[in-house]
Structure 1
């Protein structure tokens, strides 16, 4: 989905996880509207004043949760889907040498200066410095870390490795990790995102050229300084196909979101997976968002520039408003 919908998501983000089946017709049909996902009823009010805010937050936050697959780039768990050898701990090697054969076990705490300013501290416990073992854990603490890439990073991420299989050198692995995220902040210029929550991450690069990363969790809060959003009971999926150039991304998501930009909680899911090329916005795909009294929003990709929003304010299955706008305006609004 590129850097535009999912901030800092240049790699594969999630694995196929759509657990809901939608039935019925679309916003303008006579056979009934889309069916809300199972779970607690949504309480968000969808009306003319909230439809764009809800649509933008649902799309942006749903795929930002998937963006935690890309957090692995900060800690060196980088999947390489280009045929190059994958180095688990690439960032660790360059930052703290944790994966060096001569590393101590337990690890650290080892403090390493970042290229421009700040530092990162790595500590934990590894059964072996040569591979990943179930039960291994590493804590990363960033302190105003600036590597000259336009970002300053703060916060703590604790990683517990729960499963591993495959060949590290060949880059064909299945890796599952639990992440405890505490005040993880990425600052770019005057913009910042601070994230707190617990989630599970799965990286599967065994069937290249496809790489799949699954992220799921119970609660994740993102604060960008002007608004705060909370995801609950969420999962996000992106499959990256590098047989094409640029790479193609197929993205799915489900969950619930609340925000200081609107009242209540809405649920969301993708009955038609979004697809995007490279860093572009989706050129195909659909998301459904549900509020109170079965009010709903259908968000449909027209192309990588334009998106159509069909809003059913009273839950009768008939669209009360149709809005055509750009992806950029929707997610940045």
Structure 2
């Protein structure tokens, strides 16, 4: 998934062109991409822009998976799925709850059913419930999608939920809360010309008081997200030991995430970084974040800190030797970052 502004947490990519950037604090023009100019994992003035673009996309990918229901659809770029993975996941959950077997189901046994998707395709649902037709603490639900077309996205693969700390009735507009243990197995989402494949785990503590008013606390040990773009180029990201907090209140959205990021892309090569949010990113509606800051640190302690100046402009502070002193500052735009993923 490419760098995206926030709706929910991150949303609505618009097409982006390269913009010249003026340097500040010893800066200059933003250097052109050259992923091979420095050793793998070393952050320099040459690769800092691509580095923060790649890392912020990891924040964005996690953010778009850490929000709830129809409140948080994302993206209109040809290379960004138009619906977030977690949005799709919860939409599948709501559909699974609706089509789960309820009649003649003995308490505590496992049973299966299936249902059609709005735009074609289907899902099959397998549940183990203490009370027939009612999702309760300790229950589990496995959903397998087969070319399930919903909200402009085509979904395949499997996701499995285990429920705890339930309150309210699960629904896209209902007041409800739960802790969901989610496992993704070849769970793919194709939309906007791109396909993102997900494998791994997530624990989501989610509370929704009404439509578009929700909070989420996310954590997990490992989540692999592989993006195939419309031109067949491939971007791989693996988040480990990840944690995130996020909220949506009407059009106001915030997020903060920390994780280890490994993977590769044509722009950055093979990398391993630690990503830490310094100040939560915040945005209104489909705009880019207007505040927020994160630091990407490489194995040799070199780092780049991305800071939102406003919903158009950002700056990147570079520490090339890990001594805590800013060696160079690059001034650029969100649009430029999007063009570099």
TM-score, reference length from structure 2: 0.74
What are the within-5 Å matches in structure 2 for residues 198-209 of structure 1?
A: 198-205=201-208
Q: Tell me which residue corresponds to 1:324.
A: 331
What are the within-5 Å matches in structure 2 for residues 1-333 of structure 1?
A: 5=4, 10-11=7-8, 44-69=41-66, 70=68, 71=85, 73-76=87-90, 90-92=94-96, 97-98=99-100, 102=103, 104=105, 106=109, 108-129=111-132, 131-147=134-150, 149-166=151-168, 171-205=174-208, 210-225=213-228, 226-242=234-250, 247-261=251-265, 262-333=269-340
Residues 11/268 of structure 1: CA separation in 2 closer, same or farther (3 Å cut): same
Partner Cα separation in structure 2 for residue 277 and residue 104 of structure 1: 46
| Aligned residues of 2:235 and 2:264 also touching (Cα < 8 A) | yes
| Aligned residues of 2:244 and 2:258 also touching (Cα < 8 A) | yes
Residues 129/63 of structure 1: CA separation in 2 closer, same or farther (3 Å cut): farther
SS of the aligned residue for 2:65 comes to: helix
Structure 1 residue 174: Cα displacement: 2.8
- Deviation string 1:246-275 (CA, Å, 9 cap, x unpaired) is x11111111110121344411111121111
Matched length: 284
Partner Cα separation in structure 1 for residue 148 and residue 86 of structure 2: 16
- Unaligned runs of 5+ residues in structure 2 are 11-23, 26-39, 69-84, 229-233
Structure 1 residue 290: Cα displacement: 1.0
| Aligned residues of 1:12 and 1:212 also touching (Cα < 8 A) | no
| Aligned residues of 1:63 and 1:236 also touching (Cα < 8 A) | no
TM-score, reference length from structure 1: 0.75
- Unaligned runs of 5+ residues in structure 1 are 14-26, 29-42, 79-88
Partner Cα separation in structure 1 for residue 294 and residue 104 of structure 2: 47
- Deviation string 1:163-222 (CA, Å, 9 cap, x unpaired) is 213566994433101111011111114311111111101102359985211111111111
Indicate the RMSD between aligned Cα atoms, in angstroms: 3.0
